[in-house]
Amino acid sequence: MTATLSEAVAAFSPALPLAVAYSGGADSTALLLACAQKWPGLVHAVHIHHGLQAAADDFEHHCRAFCLQHQVPLIVKRVDARHTSGQSPEDAARRARYKAFEALSSEEYQHLAIRNVAIAQHADDQVETLLLALSRGAGLPGLSAMPAKWTRAGLYYHRPLLRVRASDIRAWLVSRGEVWIDDPTNANEQFTRNRIRAQLLPALEATFPHFRDTFARSAAHAAQAQEVLLDVAEQDLALIGVPPLIAQIHRLTRARQANVLRYWLHQTYGAVPSAAQLAELLDQIAACTTRGHQIRIKVGNGFVERQGSVLHWYNP
């Protein structure tokens, strides 16, 4: 069920001290204020200056003034979020943000002892993420949408507002007379996520008033099923070995072959096969019944190749 912002923050119990990702927008402003009020003196704001638009300096100035007014310590990290050829702008910005957060573990900030980071993504963001995954034909990891918490590079990340509507967050701020900034790129409907927000969410609200709750349940079911698949993949990888023995792969059903090979590639090399690549690899493994049968298939940004009785992945 959806929750109010106050209910969500009341139920939030990270280890302290806490860093809150603060862009200056409505969502991060509300999360920062609510956390700073709950844990006075134990919350730091972290503003990431992406440098991707002319207003970036104005965003930083606003965040500095706001944190000074509310007596919240502010850390500003400047990053290079420009994307490279073949990389999406969203992925480049996400990687740059993670790199900035990971600096909290560096010697420069070690005295703050911050190991927990809160991010203000909310129920509407969760729906948008699920719809984007569906539009791309995603599997269970994509349909699981965004987790409420996860770990990365020694830091613990939290999304305490995933059950809170965007409209409720803004109403909470207005009721307190607080101010925020609106990123003009959020209104640019050339971006798919913005078109979903502007066009699809109102239509869903009119047709399925409780869609946020039902979509969240579907994402939770997908996440649970994905956990089971990971458990099975770990067991099957122990059976086929690393590197995988082709003869042992043949003992599994095709579905379990796909599951364990996807797991092996991602866990060992960080490689993610497309559906077409994985299907071709499975076809080649099925046909690999003689010692002379060769396998060399593009997978992710490298190749899976047969070497004797086993499979190897390499990036030339």
**DSSP string for residues in the chain:** ----HHHHHHT----SSEEEE--SSHHHHHHHHHHHHHSTTSEEEEEEE---STTHHHHHHHHHHHHHHHT--EEEEE---PPPTT--HHHHHHHHHHHHHHGGGSGGGGGG---EEE----HHHHHHHHHHHHHTT--HHHHT---SEEEETTEEEE-TTTTS-HHHHHHHHHHTT------GGGG-TTSHHHHIIIIIHHHHHHH-TTHHHHHHHHHHHHHHHHHHHHHHHHHHHHHHTTTTBHHHHTTS-HHHHHHHHHHHHHHHH-----HHHHHHHHHHHHH--STT---EEEETTEEEEEETTEEEEE--
In this predicted model, what pLDDT tens digit does every residue of 156-183 receive, in sequence order?
999 999 999 999 999 999 999 999 998 8
Selected residue with higher pLDDT from 15 and 88? 15
**Residue 219 pLDDT level (bands cut at 50, 70, 90):** very high
In this predicted model, what pLDDT tens digit does every residue of 185-203 receive, in sequence order?
888 888 888 999 999 999 9
In this predicted model, what pLDDT tens digit does every residue of 284-311 receive, in sequence order?
999 998 888 999 999 988 999 999 999 9
pTM above 0.85, yes or no: yes
**Residue 207 pLDDT level (bands cut at 50, 70, 90):** very high
Selected residue with higher pLDDT from 219 and 81? 219
- Predicted confidence at residue 52, as pLDDT, reads 63
- Predicted confidence at residue 98, as pLDDT, reads 85
* Domain spanning 5-214, CATH architecture: 3-Layer(aba) Sandwich (3.40)
Selected residue with higher pLDDT from 63 and 104? 63
By percentage, how much of the chain surpasses pLDDT 90? 76
Work out the average pLDDT over 223-245.
96
Give me the residues paired with residue 303 across strands: 298, 314
Q: How far is CA 264 from CA 109, 125, 236, 271, in A?
A: 36, 31, 10, 9
Work out the average pLDDT over 19-29.
96
With 90 as the cut, is the pLDDT of residue 31 above it? yes
Task: Indicate the residue type of 109.
Answer: Y
- Predicted confidence at residue 228, as pLDDT, reads 97
- In the predicted model, what is the mean pLDDT of the chain? 92
Work out the average pLDDT over 74-79.
89
With 90 as the cut, is the pLDDT of residue 221 above it? yes
Instruction: Please check whether residue 28 is in contact with residue 20, taking contact to mean a CB–CB distance below 8 angstroms.
Output: yes
With 60 as the cut, is the pLDDT of residue 206 above it? yes
* CATH 3.40.50.620, the chain: domain bounds: 5-214
In this predicted model, what pLDDT tens digit does every residue of 84-107 receive, in sequence order?
665 566 667 777 788 889 888 888
Tokens of 172: 């909470």
Instruction: Please check whether residue 92 is in contact with residue 82, taking contact to mean a CB–CB distance below 8 angstroms.
Output: yes
Work out the average pLDDT over 97-124.
90
